[in-house]
Structure formats: structure tokens, C-alpha cells
Amino acid sequence: MKSVRIIALRKDRKRLLEHLQNSALVEVTSEETAQEGFVRTDTSAQLKQFERNAELTEQALRILDREAPEKKSLLDSLRGRREIDPDEIGEIAANSAKITGICKKIVKLDHQMADNAAERVRIRTQIAQLEPWKKLDIPLNTPDTASVAVLIGTFPRGYSTQELSVAVAEASPDLIFEFEIFYSSSNLTSAVIYSPKKQKEQCQAALRTLGFTQPMNPTSKVPEDKVRRLLKKDKDLEEKREDARDEIAGYAEFRGAIRDTWDYFVMRSEKYKVISGLDQTKHVFVLTGFVPEVDCEKLQALCERVADCVVEFEDAGDDAPVKLRNNAFAEPAESIVTMYSTPSKNDIDPTPILAFFFYFFFGMMFSDAGYGLLMVAACSAAIAIFKPDRNMLLNLRLFRNCGVATIFWGLAFGSIFGDAPAVIYNLITGGNITMAELLPWPILDTQKDALTIMVMSIAMGLVHILIGMGCKFYICWRQKRYAEALFDTGLWMTLLVGLAVLAAGVAAGQLLVYIGAGIAIASALGLVLTQGRSKKGFFGKLIGGVASLYDITSYVSDLLSYSRLLALGLTTGVMAQVFNMLSTLLGTNVIGIIFMIVIFVVGHAVTIGLNALGSYVHTMRLQYVEMFSKFYEGGGKPFVPFETNSRFFKTDIKENNK
């Protein structure tokens, strides 16, 4: 990574920034304050306007997608952004005011729908409150007459006519009253109480002791008429809501334009963020940042082509961001590395190593040539048909490579949609042939040769771990930490190799036992003598060295983790064979063939879904936990270029666009 300083004429600022944004070559940096002799342009007003417009168009698009959803297939998510000519940006900018106006209308209609919905909730609440009074034939705010007090309200419990009469009489024995109950339930009684007007206060006091409350918003209408009016109002609001929804749906034809305008405002806001951090004078401006070393010549050629400028490169220093760069084989696995953490300045890029083992282990776990062929075909077709953007393209290439490894291991294990070829052959001929007999090459049966595959899995795990430790050895040696490289890493590597040779000698011959034992014992003695070197005193160093040998249990645990290579490979094969067996239960008649096709397709689809997910997760675990823990620190700052972070279109500024 290099730091870059671009000094250009201010008149070329717009053109140069557009090309830099499109090229995504530079991560732009800026100090908090301008250097002496330079000033900064305040772009806060323009930036806020672009951000508001971007938020408005995004909101309008969400409303459109909710009220008038676009018909899409699941495969549309693979499709890349639409590529447009740079001249179209000008057209989008010219139409942005019109599209912004349309977005405002959409948002306004949505607000109206929200207000209508809130009003309908209030109406329904009022209708519910009037439910106990639907039989009342006078208004709830009926006034007193010249001689009679009229009290309309509710009690917080259920009363029968006799119970209410007794309760009121007990509350005020000398009160003269009449009443009529209109509604009664277990926790509510609505009633009208009549009493002489001169006893109104006495009546109110007695009713209060029983929890009597009058309506908070009494109406001048008879409850039944009020409910009828409310229902009509609710219906009118529903019609207005449908009209607003139809009007919003009518703007669906502008969905594409709204998307483009949203991208345009996002692009402009990003550009103005950069402008606000540039050091400028009346005639020139200065842009600083980082650029990958391999892109320095490309950046210089671009800048000199589009502007009168000076481009200076320097060493980036320790705070430089990190951009991974790998060949076509390893590049798809970069996302697996960055998902864990970006490499730090002390790390090496583990992507090439991870890529090989990721494909290798995934294929061994998925382990079916038929499934691998489907993966390769599906990913290749998606790449050719949908022309996805870079991130999706790399993911598809990752799984395509995993599919190739799956084909290899599937053929090695004799699994092609399980034992489908043998099952079909036996169904047609009535024979009893196996995949081992059917295929013209020797195979490893995951069930019969489980012990052999287990040994292979542990051996591959040992190689995987040793490579991780080798990376640690290299990093320490590169940093001139020779003691740590030789004693803390090298001796453990030779100890593991010695134990592996010793284990191989048990089966292969006594000579290997002696060789392996000698290497292991010498390595163990070396660990005892060196691992306590940071302790004080002879006994402290000795105890520290002896105690370090306990770490062998950690390595044994790590190696046993690789047994999952056998476990998942066995699971894939057994599930596929079970579904193959089930598919043949009804024989070769018409119903049996239909049943066989359905069970075969559904069963293998389930097997693919479950085992592909399991293989992906457990393969990542072997990388992160078993290998990365041996050498990888991470914690680096990823390279974030100044680019067009658009969602729906992408531009390609050609060299001849001057």
C-alpha cells in the first residue's frame, strides 16, 4: 500500500473526482483542519440536501415496494447492477427534480394513509365505547329537566336490576330514584339514573361510592345514530385509503427512475463529503489518500489523462489500510478471510492457503459427485446469465470451486446422488450390484472404509495445522523473533511430526517407530529446556518447560476435530442412499415411477440443503479455530475506496470520454 498526494487545478476537480469515484482506486483521507495556506470548502448545505433527497427517494421506493410490489423471482437477487453510459448521469440529474416531486407525492399519500389508519382506530374505539349504549334512545348528554336529574353512566361491575336497586338504597337510604339498565356484563353495567333534581348532589354522592362514572365525551346524538355515522365515516376513510393506494400504485412506472435518482443522490453526497475534506486554494486543490501499490501506475495514468495534475507516492506506513489481492483460484475465498478479520500489518495474507483447504474440506464433507456437478452447473449458469456484481460473482465462484472439489471426492467415495446409478441398474435388471462393482475405478466406501477415511481425515488435519504453524514460524522469523520461531513453534512442529511418524510406524514398520520416537523425544526435551526461559531461577524454568508439554492435549483435541470430515461425508452418503431406497419401494409401475421421481427430487433437495450448509459451516470452523488460531492475528483496517456505492446502476467512464 502507498500513500498518494494528488495536486490538480481546481477547474478539473469535478472531472477528476468523477473518474476517481468510478475507478475505486483510492481511499481518500483528510486531516481535521486544512494545512497552512489552504482552505476548506463548506459543503454542509449541499451535502444535507443530497442526503435528504436520498432519504426521500429511498422512503418513496420502500412505500412503492410495499403498496405495489414488483414481481421478482428468487434468482433476481443474483442479477448485477444495470450498467449505464456516463451520459445518462446527466439525464438522471436533469430529471431529479421531477422524480423528487413524485417521491414527495408518494410520501404524502403514505402519510395520508397513516393518518386515515389512526383515525379509523379512534373511530373503532368510539364504536366500542358506544356498544353498551346501543339500546339507549336518548343522547348521552341528555340534560336534566325542570324537576328530574338525569345521570347517565357506568358501574365497574355487573348488576341485575334488583342488585343495583339494593346497592343504591344502601348507599343513600332516603334517596328517591328510578333507573334503567341498558347493558350488563361481568365487569360493566351501563344505566340511566333518575332522581329529584333537589336530590341530585345526594344521588351523585351515593353513585360515586359504587364507582359510577359518566361518559367522558358524551354526544348529542342517540348512540345508535352516532354509531351509524361513525361506521359511515370509517367506510369513507377506507375508500380514501384505497384511492391513495391506487394512486401510489400508479407511480410504479417511475420505480426505475426513482432507483436511479436514489443512486444519483447517494453518489453526489459521497462526492461532496470528499470535497469538504480537500485542501484548496483559489486555483488548485490537494487530495490525499491510499492506493494499492499495484494500482499506482494505473492511478497516475488516469489522473494525467483527465486533469493537469501532479501525483506523488510515498510509503504508507503502519497505519495503512489493507486490500487483499489474489489470483483467480484464491480470490473467491477472500470473503471468508475478511468475515473473520482483515490481516494486520504483522500478518501474511492467509487467503491462498485457506482457499485450497476450504475447497478441499468442503468437497470431502459434501462428497457427492452428482451434487458437485449441480453446484458447478448452477453457479456457472448464474454467472453467465445474470452477470452479477463482484461480491456475488466471487461467492458464486467460491461455490463453483467447492463443487469441483465435491465432484472429485464424490468420485473417490463412489457417490453419485448416493448410490443412484446402482439402484437404477438393479431396478431395471433385477441385479444386486454395488457402486464399487459398477464404477471402473477403486473407491473408498464411507461406511465400509470408515477407519481408513478417519485416518485420512486426521492426517489431513495434521498437515493443515502444521501449515498454520509454518506460517507462524515464517512470521516470527521475518520479524527477527528467532527464539520464538525455533523454540515456541519449530519444536512443536517437529514434536507433532515425530508423533505422526511414530503412529505410522505402528502400522508400517519398527524402523519408523524408532525414528518417530527419537524425533518426538528430542523435541519434547527441547520444549522442556526452552519453554520456561522467561521464568526466574533454574527450577522455575524447569517447571515451566515441563508444564508446557501439557499443551499436547490441545493439539490432540484440534486433530480430533477433523473427524468431522468423515462424519459429514458419511452423513451425506447415508442420507442420499436412504432416499434412493425409499424411492424404489413402489416398484416400476406407473405409480411407482411417479413416486420414485418425487421422492428422488425432494429427498436429494433436502440432502443438498442440509449437508451443503453443514459442510460450509464446519469447513469455516476448521479454518478459523484449528488453523487461524496458530498464527493469524487479524485486526487490520480494510481498504475502503472512494467509489460509487450505488445499488441499481453502475457506470464505466471510458478513456475517450473527455
Q: Is 311 helix (H, G, I), strand (E, B) or coil?
A: strand
Question: Would you state the cell numbers that stand for residue 398, as one nine-digit string?
Answer: 467460491
pLDDT in tens, 160-175: 999 999 999 999 999 9
Residue 178, beta-bridge partner list: 194
The larger pLDDT score, comparing residue 229 to residue 542, is at: 229
Q: Are 259 and 647 in contact (CB under 8 A)?
A: yes
Strands 82-84 and 649-651: parallel
What local confidence, expressed as pLDDT, does residue 7 receive?
93
In the chain, the percentage of residues whose pLDDT exceeds 90 is: 54
Please tell me the distance from the alpha carbon of residue 613 to that of residue 606, in angstroms, as a whole number: 11
pLDDT at 655: 41
What per-residue confidence (pLDDT) applies to 369? 95
Distance, CA of 4 to CA of 606 (rounded, Å): 53
pLDDT at residue 466 is higher than 80: yes
pTM of the model: 0.81
Asked if the model's pLDDT at residue 223 lies above 70, the reply is yes
Please identify which residue in the block is written with the cell numbers 450390484: 433
**Three-state SS annotation for 561-619:** HCCHHHHHHHHHHHHHHHHHHHHCCCCCCHHHHHHHHHHHHHHHHHHHHHHHHHHHHHH
Place of cell 380514501: 240
Burial of residue 473 (CB within 10 Å: 0-12, 13-18, 19+) is buried
In 3D space, the residue among 79, 70, 85 whose CA is nearest the CA of residue 253 turns out to be 70
The sign one gets for the Cα dihedral 612, 616, 621, 623 is positive
The mean per-residue pLDDT over the stretch 515-522 comes to 91
CB-CB contact of 123 with 237 (8 Å): yes
pLDDT of residue 653: 53
Parallel/antiparallel/unpaired status of strands 27-29 and 309-315: unpaired
Report how many helices (DSSP H) and strands (DSSP E) the chain contains, helices first.
23, 10
Q: Which residues pair with 337 in a beta bridge?
A: none
- Hey, which of 34-38, 308-312, 583-587 has the most confident mean pLDDT? 308-312
Nearest to 455 by CA among 506, 415, 387, 400: 506
Closest CA relative to residue 555, chosen from 622, 626, 503? 626
Measured between its terminal Cα atoms, the distance across the chain in Å is 29
Q: Are 58 and 262 in contact (CB under 8 A)?
A: yes
CB neighbour list of residue 282: distance below 8 Å, 6 or more residues apart? 10
User: Shortest CA distance to 544 belongs to which of 530, 532, 559, 562?
Assistant: 532
- Residues 423-464: tens digit of each pLDDT: 988 888 888 888 988 999 999 988 888 899 999 999 999 999
User: What would the pLDDT profile of 86-112 be if each residue is shown by its tens digit?
Assistant: 778 888 889 999 999 999 999 999 999
At 474, give phi and psi (nearest 5°). Answer: -65, -45
pLDDT (average), residues 581-595: 87
Strands 178-185 and 148-155: unpaired
The grid coordinates of residue 167 equal 346497592
Give the per-residue pLDDT at 355.
95
Cα gap 562→458, rounded to integer Å: 6
pLDDT for res 5: 92
Instruction: Note whether 41 and 284 are within 8 A (CB).
Output: no
Alpha helices in 158-295 (DSSP H): 161-171, 200-209, 223-250, 255-276
> What is residue 652's predicted lDDT score, i.e. its pLDDT?
61
- Where is 511: in which H helix or E strand? helix 510-530
For residue 264, the SS3 value is helix
Sheet holding 188-196, edge to edge: 148-155, 188-196, 178-185
Which range has the top average pLDDT, 354-363, 561-570, 586-595?
Answer: 354-363
Q: How many CA atoms lie within 13 A of 204 on its CB side?
A: 9
The confidence band for 658, taking pLDDT boundaries of 50, 70 and 90, is very low
Bridge partners for 288 per DSSP:
5, 29
CA distance 207 to 213: 8
Residue 465 has pLDDT above 60, yes or no: yes
Whole-angstrom Cα distance, residue 136 to residue 148?
18
Radius of gyration from C-alpha coordinates of the chain? 39
Cα–Cα nearest to 362, from 397, 405, 400:
405
Separation CA 316–CA 367 (nearest Å): 45
Cell matching residue 171: 348507599
Q: What is the mean pLDDT of residues 36-54?
A: 89
Closest CA to 277 of 28, 45, 12: 28
pLDDT class of 60 with cuts at 50, 70, 90: very high
Q: Is the pLDDT of residue 489 over 80?
A: yes
**pLDDT by residue (tens digit) across 297-307?**
999 999 999 88
Which residues are CB-neighbours of 176 under 8 A, at least 6 positions away?
Answer: 195, 196, 199
Q: Which H helix or E strand runs over 27? A: strand 27-29
pLDDT value for 509: 78
Q: Would you tell me how many other CB atoms lie within 10 Å of the CB of residue 83?
A: 11
Does the pLDDT value for residue 656 go beyond 60? no
Torsion sign over Cα 133, 135, 139, 144: negative
Residues 6+ apart with CB under 8 A from 224: 134, 136, 137
Q: Which of 105, 117, 94, 101 is nearest to 64 (CA)?
A: 105
Question: 68, 375 in Cβ contact below 8 A?
Answer: no
Task: Tell me which of 29-33, 193-197, 399-403 is least confident.
Answer: 29-33
Rounded average pLDDT over 231-249: 92
Question: Rounded to 5 degrees, what angle do the CA atoms 60, 66, 70 make?
Answer: 95
Rounded Cα–Cα distance for residues 606 and 588 (Å): 24
The rounded distance, in Å, linking the Cα atoms of 652 and 83 is 8
Contacts of 631 (CB under 8 A, 6+ apart): 347, 350, 468, 469, 471, 472, 475
Higher pLDDT, 218 or 637: 637
pLDDT higher than 80, residue 535: no
Cell of 346: 504483522
What pLDDT, on the 0 to 100 scale, is given for residue 498?
92
Residue pLDDT, tens place only, 8-24 = 999 999 899 988 988 88
User: What's the pLDDT at 657?
Assistant: 36
CB 601 within 8 A of CB 444: no
Q: Which helix (H) or strand (E) holds 297?
A: helix 296-306
Q: What rounded mean pLDDT belongs to the chain? A: 89
d(CA 633, CA 344): 7
- Domains defined along the chain, listed by start: 142-214 (3.30.70.2750), 348-428+450-631 (no CATH)
